[in-house]
Chain A
């Protein structure tokens, strides 16, 4: 990227909310299904049908607003956004215009270095989703040039949250990190599945560039059709490069909407500002204003779970866990929960994190069983950690014990007992083992005596192995030193 320019990015997200029923009717809110099976007069927008708001969806938005520190409007309303599109049943969308449920607030996110950053939110509001069109016979899957279109209204009327950020993001990486933080938080709040591949999270990016040091904004373009976090990153990077090239060559950026072309890795113009819609917003006369009492907001605030960003701060600041490890844990809420239970049983965070992200995660990968679902209960892991801490087993044995626990061989203490895996620090017991190794490897002993002192580690390893890891490595080393120098 050109170092003289700074990208300025804002993200607009649409998130389908997880509720039992749709936004304004009693139809089942569930992804997929045979086309046009989850429909009724209301979500089909049939003449005469009327919307009745879903209280749960409103609660979800309030929850999201509270979680991001937004101001919750005591008085809000629904507006109609008027435009024509075949899969929009009423040819208007019930949305919110000038009085969103939540305004302001911010999303805290982090990138690889683990530094916590913040992106301010403009607003969070509630609206309804449209149906889904399949355009047949056009080269690019768009309606223009298609022979016919099929419409599935199962999605029509699904509660949709629109979340608009301020232009606070300065790179494609930050944009993705912001989206990841948003996704994580919504998952933690239980308000959405946030699956980009199922369309329950969709996002557009507003992108502009400006010379580094400038405080005014350049002309922005809006990027659409990004279907994964990866494509968000690629699309923004590509658009930033395109804009910088235009500005560098003395050209002017057109304000327009651009579509991301995944295959060719470029954005292309979709429509210009002149073609922009006049949505003719006005308050929906079918719905009464929304009142959200301070008591309701208090109730939501009190029942809020710990948010990923708060957890991030707790882990990094209080437990001194490395940001990268923290991020790994936070991205796997079940694993984080497991980790927390191990801590609650008295394990030290530094110990616990190494086992959880190290041995146990490796075993999980090998066996396809999640750590939290495995035979290694938090009690077992904390037991193993205690055995190590108490110097009753070596850390080498700990790995072995954990693997045995994983494979259902029982409780750690019992395994240690049964298999004779207790730490051996007793010189008397270890001397024969050491002597045996020295006798078996005269060449190595000769090397050592010839000055290659680094073979000592190799010898320690041999003894450890022969003791199935139970030998106290410090004692073994001492014994070896003693024997080799005296011999």
Chain B
């Protein structure tokens, strides 16, 4: 039986069940997905590289494993991998000219675990260059459009993975979240975006932006799929000294249908009234929805959260200025000749990096330089500690926190040309990143923008204490099940493809 478009639009859990029960083969799902990609990509542009050959080979291997009686949690599930994760033999660009031709000679732990669980790597997805951005517009290698309105950005930096999942070009997208890079594109593309606790998923093979913040997580169409992905990837990795030894309890079996007995904190400082009438109404309705499911709403305070963006834009650039030093023209392909070796470095990096990457390298280099280190880097680290303390304080009186995932719906290309307004896109997601907390964005409704014809999805962000993934995913599942906002509108890309 050929895999129907209908099956591709189902969840990863359903696809895996069909493959495990041999109602459809992984090869059939893969071929259908690759056809879907060919039909959809001209509109969306989620992928930088489609791995047709590797995908079919992997599918054949999954079919063999299933035929031998293995039951794989993600059997045959089409997977989109953000192009900052290494996969042996695949071009891995980070959306940058400096890595445009680099073929990874090894596979990241997270991707390897997904493949072990039966997922099929369809391709590598577009992202803001080195994951620096909130719209995918900072990619040097391609434009990705929001599947719900092709004139708009998919969010970022994991915009390619979010768009691929929203446009049914994959059932699961892997993203990386440093300050909101999974949650914001998740919200923009009407899908679930989940960032686990820092250290839960190995960073081995994830090309670093800011090492102390980067965390891999899923973009999926259902919370259950996010849980399945998390269960497949999470857990200690001896190759990552920052991966945590805490035992991982599977989240998928703990999904729940109500929120009885949970106290949900509403952050006083994150008043949705500041986001305008439509957004305000939507978030108030979302909070009321949580209450209807049995949650007790309590007000909590995060007084230092407003310093999140300022703190983040010292720590993340500082780390990136060092992480990106290795792209110097000696290796990795791009080399622009110079008068001497230093000239070669300068010319290569000038040609290879985009504006935003250069800006952050400069900011970070300055923040770490002698004489400024204490004033910037050290102070930012202190602020980071205070922000984490605030969350600890808040979680003394609540189990989860609910707040907006982004301050606006997907915007038009070029609308945030001023870097600072782009930085503010992550206002609601950065504090959790600085505190290392698990957080998820789930669709919570639609707004009709004044400057467009298509209704745009909005995301609700839920955040839990460290290592509370089970609780968090469980609650997000209850909310998703009760509201099912995704079903309200089909993406434009789907309508154009059909």
Which of A's residues lie within 8 Å of B, judged by CB?
Answer: 41-42, 45-53, 80, 82, 84, 86, 89-92, 143-144, 151, 278, 280-282, 285-288
Contact of A48 among B85, B210, B241, B377 (CB under 8 A): B85
CB distance from B468 to the nearest CB of A (A): 21
Contact of A49 among B84, B92, B204, B368 (CB under 8 A): B204
Q: Which residues of A contact B207 (CB under 8 A)?
A: 47-48
A280-B321, A280-B369, A281-B368 given; 5 more Cβ-contact pairs under 8 Å: A52-B239, A91-B325, A278-B369, A282-B368, A286-B208
Instruction: Tell me whether A48 and B326 are in contact (CB under 8 A).
Output: no
Please judge, given known A-B contacts A46-B106, A47-B86, whether A288 and B242 are in contact too, CB under 8 Å: yes
A46 to B373 alpha-carbon distance, docked (Å): 27
Instruction: Tell me whether A84 and B242 are in contact (CB under 8 A).
Output: no
Q: Which 10 A-B pairs have the closest CB atoms?
A: A91-B325, A285-B212, A285-B211, A280-B368, A47-B207, A48-B205, A48-B207, A86-B330, A90-B326, A52-B241
Instruction: Tell me whether B365 and A50 are in contact (CB under 8 A).
Output: no
For this complex, into which size category does the number of interface residues on chain B fall? 35 or more
Closest to B99 in A: A47
CB distance from B84 to the nearest CB of A (A): 8
B102 contacts partner chain A, Cβ-Cβ < 8 Å: yes
CB distance from B466 to the nearest CB of A (A): 15
Q: Which residues of B contact A285 (CB under 8 A)?
A: 210-212, 242, 319
Contact with A along B191-218 (1 / 0, CB 8 A): 0000000000001111110111000000
B341 contacts partner chain A, Cβ-Cβ < 8 Å: yes
Closest to A40 in B: B106
B370 contacts partner chain A, Cβ-Cβ < 8 Å: yes
Closest to A25 in B: B239
Please judge, given known A-B contacts A91-B326, A92-B325, A286-B211, whether A50 and B203 are in contact too, CB under 8 Å: yes
B240 contacts partner chain A, Cβ-Cβ < 8 Å: yes
Instruction: Tell me whether A143 and B322 are in contact (CB under 8 A).
Output: no
Q: Which residues of A contact B370 (CB under 8 A)?
A: 278, 280
A184 to B365 alpha-carbon distance, docked (Å): 42
Contact of B242 among A45, A282, A286 (CB under 8 A): A286
Instruction: Tell me whether B211 and A84 are in contact (CB under 8 A).
Output: no
A151 to B328 alpha-carbon distance, docked (Å): 15
B318 contacts partner chain A, Cβ-Cβ < 8 Å: yes
CB distance from B439 to the nearest CB of A (A): 20
CB distance from A138 to the nearest CB of B (A): 11
B105 contacts partner chain A, Cβ-Cβ < 8 Å: yes
Q: Which residues of A contact B318 (CB under 8 A)?
A: 282
Q: Which residues of B contact A52 (CB under 8 A)?
A: 238-241
Q: Which residues of A contact B203 (CB under 8 A)?
A: 48, 50
Contact of A288 among B92, B102, B241 (CB under 8 A): B241
Q: Which residues of B contact A45 (CB under 8 A)?
A: 326
B108 contacts partner chain A, Cβ-Cβ < 8 Å: yes
A42 to B204 alpha-carbon distance, docked (Å): 10
CB distance from B336 to the nearest CB of A (A): 15
Contact of B325 among A51, A90, A151 (CB under 8 A): A90
Instruction: Tell me whether A47 and B326 are in contact (CB under 8 A).
Output: yes
CB distance from B209 to the nearest CB of A (A): 11
B345 contacts partner chain A, Cβ-Cβ < 8 Å: yes
CB distance from A399 to the nearest CB of B (A): 62
List 6 A–B pairs whose Cβ atoms lie within 8 Å, in order of A's numbering. Answer: A50-B239, A51-B241, A82-B321, A84-B345, A91-B325, A282-B373
**Residue of A48, A53, A282, A287 ringed by the most chain B CB atoms within 10 A:** A48
Q: Which residues of A contact B238 (CB under 8 A)?
A: 52
A165 to B168 alpha-carbon distance, docked (Å): 64
CB distance from A84 to the nearest CB of B (A): 6
Q: Which residues of B contact A281 (CB under 8 A)?
A: 368
A247 to B481 alpha-carbon distance, docked (Å): 84
A280 to B212 alpha-carbon distance, docked (Å): 17
B340 contacts partner chain A, Cβ-Cβ < 8 Å: yes
Q: Which residues of A contact B369 (CB under 8 A)?
A: 278, 280
Closest to B211 in A: A285
A288 to B204 alpha-carbon distance, docked (Å): 15
Instruction: Tell me whether B325 and A82 are in contact (CB under 8 A).
Output: yes
Q: Which residues of B contact A82 (CB under 8 A)?
A: 321-322, 325, 368
A260 to B84 alpha-carbon distance, docked (Å): 45
Contact of A80 among B86, B102, B322 (CB under 8 A): B322
Closest to B205 in A: A48
A66 to B435 alpha-carbon distance, docked (Å): 38
Instruction: Tell me whether B322 and A92 are in contact (CB under 8 A).
Output: yes
CB distance from B94 to the nearest CB of A (A): 8
CB distance from B88 to the nearest CB of A (A): 11
Instruction: Tell me whether A41 and B240 are in contact (CB under 8 A).
Output: no
Q: Which residues of B contact A287 (CB under 8 A)?
A: 241-242
Instruction: Tell me whether A50 and B204 are in contact (CB under 8 A).
Output: yes
Closest to B202 in A: A50
Q: Which residues of B contact A151 (CB under 8 A)?
A: 330
CB distance from A148 to the nearest CB of B (A): 11
A140 to B212 alpha-carbon distance, docked (Å): 42
Q: Which residues of B contact A91 (CB under 8 A)?
A: 325-326, 328
A143 to B343 alpha-carbon distance, docked (Å): 13
Q: Which residues of B contact A49 (CB under 8 A)?
A: 106, 204-205
Closest to B364 in A: A280
Q: Which residues of A contact B210 (CB under 8 A)?
A: 285
A357 to B101 alpha-carbon distance, docked (Å): 66
CB distance from B98 to the nearest CB of A (A): 10
Closest to A85 in B: B341
Please judge, given known A-B contacts A46-B105, A286-B241, whether A89 and B326 are in contact too, CB under 8 Å: yes
A381 to B365 alpha-carbon distance, docked (Å): 68
Closest to A146 in B: B341
A396 to B104 alpha-carbon distance, docked (Å): 75
CB distance from A275 to the nearest CB of B (A): 12
A280 to B325 alpha-carbon distance, docked (Å): 12
Residues from 56 to 111 in B contacting A, C-beta threshold 8 Å:
84-86, 92, 94, 99, 102, 104-106, 108
Instruction: Tell me whether A282 and B108 are in contact (CB under 8 A).
Output: no
A281 to B378 alpha-carbon distance, docked (Å): 12
Closest to A86 in B: B330
Closest to A47 in B: B207
CB distance from A252 to the nearest CB of B (A): 25
Residues from 177 to 235 in B contacting A, C-beta threshold 8 Å:
203-208, 210-212
Q: Which residues of B contact A144 (CB under 8 A)?
A: 340
Please judge, given known A-B contacts A282-B368, A286-B242, whether A48 and B322 are in contact too, CB under 8 Å: no
Instruction: Tell me whether A84 and B325 are in contact (CB under 8 A).
Output: yes
A153 to B319 alpha-carbon distance, docked (Å): 24
A281 to B365 alpha-carbon distance, docked (Å): 11
CB distance from A29 to the nearest CB of B (A): 18
Residues from 276 to 305 in B contacting A, C-beta threshold 8 Å:
none
CB distance from A39 to the nearest CB of B (A): 11
A420 to B345 alpha-carbon distance, docked (Å): 83
A46 to B370 alpha-carbon distance, docked (Å): 28
A42 to B205 alpha-carbon distance, docked (Å): 10
Q: Which residues of A contact B106 (CB under 8 A)?
A: 41, 46, 48-49
Q: Which residues of A contact B104 (CB under 8 A)?
A: 46-48
Instruction: Tell me whether A41 and B377 are in contact (CB under 8 A).
Output: no
Closest to A81 in B: B322
CB distance from A121 to the nearest CB of B (A): 25
CB distance from A294 to the nearest CB of B (A): 23
Residues from 316 to 338 in B contacting A, C-beta threshold 8 Å:
318-319, 321-322, 325-326, 328, 330, 332
Q: Which residues of A contact B84 (CB under 8 A)?
A: 48
Q: Which residues of B contact A80 (CB under 8 A)?
A: 322
CB distance from B177 to the nearest CB of A (A): 16
Contact with A along B145-181 (1 / 0, CB 8 A): 0000000000000000000000000000000000000
**Residue of A47, A89, A288 ringed by the most chain B CB atoms within 10 A:** A47
